[in-house]
Structure 1
Amino acid sequence: MTKKELASRTLKWAKEKGILDKGNKCVQTLKLVEELDEFVEAAYLEFKEEAIVDAIGDCLVVMTSICYFIGEDISTIKPLDRYRSILGLLSDVSKGIIKDKNAEVIEAFALIIARFEGTAGILGYTIEYCWEEALKVIEKRTGTMSLTGDFIKDAPAGIITTDGDFKPMENE
């Protein structure tokens, strides 16, 4: 799928889940913080290929929603080839959102996308592949919108073990 098709599919999902009607750019920016943290953990601390692909895709989904809220189209953002730390980029996104400076948000997104393209490429993937894989997962997800405009996914039934692992409950 093309970036344009993936953006359209993402916005359709976000609309169906109420994110575009009840969410906002600030809540989605907080979600991006969470997703970028998962990317950093997967890519730089653990180097788990499946988790990296998932994190890139999830970040692109959230970035698509943020672009919607600021009146931009993520599929038209061209990656910029220059280094800036993920933390610095996240700071730029947050400042741009707070100050209503869309150009700063888009520039930071262009740098993030370049980082994602490089990481995905090392693994033999494209960001479009990562994005589509994330959509395959989230399109099946159920949940509710919080009062603050955040989509809260339903958690599977299970328990957290003493080791901190999740163990799903078996169907009886």
Structure 2
Amino acid sequence: MTGRRGGHGDVLLVDGYNIIGAWPELQRLKELGLEEARDRLLDLLADYQGFTGMEVIVIFDAHQVPGLGKTFRQHKLTVLYTKEKETADECIERQVIAMARRSRAIYVATSDLVEQHVAFGKGALRISARELLIGIQQNRRAIERQVEAEQRAQARRNPLDSKLGDSVRERLERMRRGED
């Protein structure tokens, strides 16, 4: 899923532990500790949310972590921990049903085929863990290209600045401030 598919007002529901189990980088981090893998996933999704403009909601099964039924914000993401005896799949289904009434595109990211079919049946669009990872990677490359283009444009706007050494630049700055 690229940033072009989703947009402002669209929602991405992510089955957190399913994605952690599906992405090689997060699988390796999980071996060090589940918290590290969760934090890295949230960092990646926060960047994705910022680039695409989608609202991202990450759902974790609460049996794997304390804080049953809690909802909180992290990096402007909404993070939900399921209620006692509720699976992430059930929570996602409940979210899809509630959001489908608001007529906006809802995407569900999971590699659980049963959950994909259930979410699709409730009106959501499904995205595999692999598709989401590709989308995140494409967005990261687009951001890097945008930053490079801005740096090149900056150098063209001030061609002399790119040719000055640090000592000359510092001396000119001191002169500008009246210190030299």
Report 1 or 2 for greater relative contact order, CA contacts < 8 Å, sequence distance ≥ 6. 1
Structure in which a larger fraction of residues adopt helix: 1
Structure in which a larger fraction of residues adopt strand: 2
Query: Greater CA radius of gyration, 1 or 2?
Result: 2
Same fold (TM over 0.5): no
Tell me which interval the TM-score lies in, with the shorter structure as reference length: 0.3 to 0.5
TM-score by length of 2: 0.31
